[in-house]
């Protein structure tokens, strides 16, 4: 910026000085690039004035040379206080023993479906234990629902329309497991991997358990609940 050496600029009440400062303000509001020495943090105040030579001076602080506020900083954003308490640790799923009363509640449905679809009731119980903890109203973040956590498309494919109906849900889940066992030649491990990750994922990895952390954890958990570690 070129220095303005008009003596009238030395007078704080001079109309010339005030006009020049107002011109700077109009430039800043219009987004016109000002010299590098004007650059300041977005939250800073900018004051204007003139020195003894009549040169316009800009500063982040109010001084004798820069008494006029050119740009006012916006008020600071409120700071949200964080709670002093530590973050809660993830809740471990209930043990099979803790779920025993719920398992007994749904045992008649599980036995009936197991006979219909020729799947071990222990396998159905194990899947329900891991999938929903016997909560017929359970809904996963991905949209799987009910005791056996079926996605709507899969449920309809195997004859369930009301996923919160325990009988429909277990029957569709049992039929799906039967279909997977047939597709993977009775290999329970692969059937469970497909139940968790989808049959396409198992096929894509050469009929092996996909290397997904969730699936790698899921299969042995179900087998452990089933009481069988089939090789």
Catalytic residues: 131
Tokens for 65? 């040379």
Give CA separation, 180 vs 5, 107, 120, 152, in Å.
Answer: 89, 22, 14, 17
Helix axes 188-197, 166-183, angle to 10 degrees: 120
């Amino acid at each position: 910026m070129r220095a303005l050496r008009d003596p009238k600029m030395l007078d704080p009440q001079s109309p010339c000085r005030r006009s020049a400062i107002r011109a700077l303000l109009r430039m800043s509001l219009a987004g016109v690039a000002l010299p590098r020495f004007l650059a300041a943090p977005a939250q800073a105040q900018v004051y204007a004035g003139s020195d003894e030579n009549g040169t316009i001076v800009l500063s982040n602080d109010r001084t004798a040379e820069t008494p006029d506020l050119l740009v006012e900083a916006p008020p600071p954003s409120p700071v949200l206080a964080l709670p002093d308490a530590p973050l809660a640790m993830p809740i471990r799923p209930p043990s099979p023993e803790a779920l025993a009363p719920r398992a007994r509640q749904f045992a008649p449905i599980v036995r009936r479906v197991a006979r219909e679809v020729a799947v071990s009731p222990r396998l159905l119980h194990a899947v329900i234990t891991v999938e929903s903890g016997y909560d017929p109203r359970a809904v996963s973040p991905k949209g799987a629902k009910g005791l056996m956590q079926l996605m709507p498309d899969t449920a309809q494919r195997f004859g369930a329309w009301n996923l919160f109906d325990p009988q429909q849900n277990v029957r569709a889940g049992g039929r799906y497991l039967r279909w997977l066992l047939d597709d993977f030649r009775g290999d329970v491990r692969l059937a469970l991997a497909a139940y968790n990750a989808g049959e396409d994922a198992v096929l894509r990895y050469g009929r092996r358990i996909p290397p997904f952390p969730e699936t790698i954890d899921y299969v042995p958990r179900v087998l452990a609940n089933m009481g069988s570690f089939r090789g």
